[in-house]
Structure 1
Amino acid sequence: MKNFLKLITLSAIVAVMSACSKDDDKIKIQGHDQNQMMGIMHQMMAKLDTMKMTKDPDNDFAMMMRMHHQGAIDMANLELKSGSDATMKQMAQSIISSQQAEITQLSAFLKSHPPHGNDPDFDMMLMDNMKKSGKQADLQIINGDIDHDFAILMIGHHQSAIENSRLELIHGQEQSMKTMATNIIDAQMKEIGQFQDWLLARGNK
């Protein structure tokens, strides 16, 4: 009887290990330096690093978000060009349309709004958020599948925009920028949920 139980236990262990091995075979990882989506992310972060802060929260939020939105548009354009999933392509087109419209608004605001604030704490927190976002992106597992990588990286990209928008709501003075910050939070939280649902339905592959 003992030998029979041992045999059953051993068989169960072998079955589990075999299943794990099969699952592991399905996991693909691509180096970040070879990944197209990550390349766009790194280019965006490099541009953000060169942004000259003015200590005016509304002005600096607008400058940062304009660059941030352009990064999302560049990633979405790559999804439209090289992706294959209809849902991801639809989301990419939606992101391009909405964020291009916001870039137009941000540019108009910057043109008509000379910096006049003095809030160095906002700039410091803004930079900290961007650095944290860059580190988080570098921790993501990406596999070279355009649809997957677009979804996984856009989640972090949106989370960064949401954190910075929340800072604008606390430190900003201009109602137009505070309204945009609120709209960004609402829209991108919804999109994060859509990206997460899509990834979970695919088993994050």
Structure 2
Amino acid sequence: MKRTILAIAIISMTLGFASCKKETNGIILQAHDDNRMMDSMHVMMDRMEAMTMTMDPEVDFSEMMIMHHEGALNMSQALVSAGKNDSLRRFAQKVIADQTSEIAVLKSILASLTVDNMDMDFMQEQMDNMEKTNKQSDVQIITGDIDNDYATLMVLHHQAAIQDASAYLHHGNNNQLKTIANNIITAQNKEIIELSNWLKANMR
């Protein structure tokens, strides 16, 4: 009898761990590795971590922000394709338009730059920001609902962009890039508020 009970318990535990989703206090959670939006975040962060840092704030900020924006494009394109909420789809379409334009400007600036300003403090600040974002991404509540997950992770994505832009303003010298960094901080703070309000009204 004891062996039978033990076998049932082991089977139950195995099924529980194998499941992609679990319910906690009425909220259905999805494993991060099975989530489309989280996968886009991980791909973006992996690319940024694999980048060879030059320690030049102008070059590294430009390259990293291009990758960061491309991550936002991937997430937003997925939302436009499969999202259900019209207001959030419009938000994602604006992200695509704005960040596609900014990527083009960043690439143009990057093409004109040479590595001539090595700043270890900037590199360390960027690395600290990436580590912080990685840790925060690991504790996000992901449900498998593409609208909710997009809004949740885009808040984190924008917070990381603001941190990177702020780091550049602490160390950078290029006036065009300073303008971009300031624009990122202003625009994405507003979008964080918009996304947070959407989550309060719509999260399920």
Sort the TM-score into its range (normalised by shorter chain).
0.7 to 0.9
Unmatched runs of 5 consecutive residues or more in structure 1: 1-22
Instruction: Say whether residues 1:71 and 2:78 are aligned partners.
Output: no
CA distance in structure 2 between the aligned counterparts of 1:40 and 1:24, rounded to whole angstroms: 25
What amino acid is the match of 2:154?
Answer: M
In the TM superposition, what are the counterparts of 1:77-96 in structure 2 within 5 Å?
Answer: 77-96=77-96
User: 1:130 matched to which residue of 2?
Assistant: 130
Instruction: Say whether residues 1:164 and 2:170 are aligned partners.
Output: no
How many residue pairs are counted as aligned between the two chains?
A: 182
Instruction: Say whether residues 1:44 and 2:55 are aligned partners.
Output: no
SS of residue paired to 1:28:
strand
CA distance in structure 1 between the aligned counterparts of 2:37 and 2:108, rounded to whole angstroms: 29
CA distance in structure 2 between the aligned counterparts of 1:166 and 1:34, rounded to whole angstroms: 32
What amino acid is the match of 2:191?
Answer: E
Cα distance, 1:127 vs structure 2: 1.2
User: 1:146 matched to which residue of 2?
Assistant: 146
User: 1:120 matched to which residue of 2?
Assistant: 120
- Percent identity over the alignment is 44
Unmatched runs of 5 consecutive residues or more in structure 2: 1-22
User: 2:197 matched to which residue of 1?
Assistant: 197
Q: TM-score, normalised by structure 2?
A: 0.87
User: 1:16 matched to which residue of 2?
Assistant: none
What amino acid is the match of 2:85?
Answer: D
Cα distance, 1:26 vs structure 2: 3.6
Instruction: Say whether residues 1:62 and 2:62 are aligned partners.
Output: yes
Q: TM-score, normalised by structure 1?
A: 0.86
SS of residue paired to 1:29:
strand
Cα distance, 1:25 vs structure 2: 6.0
CA distance in structure 1 between the aligned counterparts of 2:153 and 2:126, rounded to whole angstroms: 20
Cα distance, 1:31 vs structure 2: 0.4
User: 1:184 matched to which residue of 2?
Assistant: 184
What amino acid is the match of 1:134?
Answer: N
Q: CA RMSD in A?
A: 1.2
Between Structure 1 and Structure 2, whose CA radius of gyration is higher? 1
In the TM superposition, what are the counterparts of 1:1-16 in structure 2 within 5 Å?
Answer: none
Cα distance, 1:130 vs structure 2: 1.1
